Amino acid sequence: MNFESIDTQYDIKRPNNTILKSSILKYRSGRPKIKDEQTYTLYLFPATSTIQLWIRTTGCSYSQKGSCSMCDYWIGEHLAAPHSVVYDALAPYKGMYQTLILNTCGSPLDENELSLSEQALIWQTINAMGFSVVIIETHAYSVTPEKLSVLQKHINAYLVIEMGLESSNSDVLFYCLNKPVSLELIQKKIELIHDYDFGACVNILLGSPFLAIKDRIDDCINSIHDVLNAGTDTCVIFPVNIKEYTLVHHLYINGLYQPVMGRELVDVLSSFSEYELSKINIAWIKPHKQMNSAYANPIIAPYFCPKCEQPFFDLLDKYLATYDGSKRLSLVKQMDIVTQCCKSTLQYLLQNDKTTQEYVSLGYSFLSTDNNQKGKD
């Protein structure tokens, strides 16, 4: 993948990708705030004894700076008492689930969203709910000794810090995602997290924009190998869901982005050993209802053909319900069999796909023209 040809054409100089930044900000500019009555969203996963809780905050600091071309975790007004919202959401399920995943509109450890005192009250509230495992999904730059010390002080459960890298390829991060992280930063944060005897988890994207389908599959595989070698305890594959008010959405509606096909995930998983599979989880592959009542349009999830979708999801549920690598490998082999119909479709798409160079050239040309037109408007 060679992106350097566009540097001169669009006057792009690291560390600032002005084309992506301005495009991301403009496409997000019409994003409505979460309605006042929506203070939290709760997902229950009985098969894995997991609760996922999202609470409203003002929004991701990096989203507001024009980062992350695929991402939208909403924006809203600050909650007067976030720990009370956490209590109201979790109290009906006290002692009933083993694992909690906590999300905000960005990062629970970001003081721009939750002050240290608010964080401490939230951790105390969570600690009273009886979870065995608590997973905090947060930006790598928000992971500091001070924040980890507060967590360690207040939560007795096994703590996991989940961070998004998306890709270990610095060019993909800069030219495709405009995400200010690196493999080197993530490795340092993993080491810091381990200093506190917490678990480290790293998120990897499947479906980066501006990449040909084959290249985005390869980038996902290579990135997983890299973060496992960097010492993460687990990683999570996030296939791109096309969300309103994102750059990816605008590329998609203009024919410049191919939605992720579920078979791509099978090809990724089939590249790993049973030991590696024991550390690899999957999120956001099934269709999700649009939970933001202020939004008009649905989320576009990865797609399957009608014949293999449910058999695949049945196997996926079994995969996520075990951490036994040998069982997971067997299930991946079964996934390969039940998605053979999609395999032939994917092969057709691969043969007729644009190259990464073509996606980059066409995509950046579109964004440049669109930005100039929006500026005139």
Q: Tell me what pLDDT residue 279 has.
A: 98
Q: Tell me what pLDDT residue 78 has.
A: 97
Structure tokens at 189: 């944060």
Query: What are the chain's domains?
Result: 5-376 (3.20.20.70)
**Which amino acid, one-letter code, is at 96?**
M
Considering only the C-alpha atoms of the chain, give the largest distance between any 2 of them, rounded to a whole number of Å.
58
Q: Tell me what pLDDT residue 175 has.
A: 97
Task: Please identify every stretch of the chain with a pLDDT value under 50, giving residue numbers as ranges.
Answer: 375-377
Closest CA to 73 of 95, 54, 89, 46: 54
Q: Tell me what pLDDT residue 2 has.
A: 73
Alpha helices in the chain (DSSP H): 5-10, 18-28, 82-90, 116-127, 145-154, 170-171, 183-195, 213-229, 247-253, 262-269, 274-277, 309-320, 325-338, 340-352, 356-376
Query: Three-state DSSP class for 223?
Result: helix
CA 352 to chain CA centroid, Å, is 28
CA dist 99 and 164 (Å) reads 20
pTM: 0.96
Residues 63 and 76: beta-carbon distance below 8 Å:
no
Q: Tell me what pLDDT residue 60 has.
A: 96
Residues 168 and 227: beta-carbon distance below 8 Å:
yes
Distances (CA, A) of 332 to 153, 228, 372: 40, 19, 47
CA dist 263 and 285 (Å) reads 11
Name, in order, each residue with C-beta under 8 angstroms of 247's C-beta and a sequence gap of 6 or more. 20, 23, 24, 27, 69, 70, 209, 367
CA dist 230 and 326 (Å) reads 23
Closest CA to 240 of 218, 208, 262, 212: 208
Report the 3 state secondary structure along 137-177.
ECCHHHCCHHHHHHHHHHCCCEEEEEEEEECCCHHHHHHHH
Q: Tell me what pLDDT residue 322 has.
A: 96
Distances (CA, A) of 88 to 36, 113, 122: 16, 19, 12
Q: How buried is 2 (Cβ within 10 angstroms: 0-12 exposed, 13-18 middle, 19+ buried)?
A: exposed
Structure tokens at 195: 């200093």
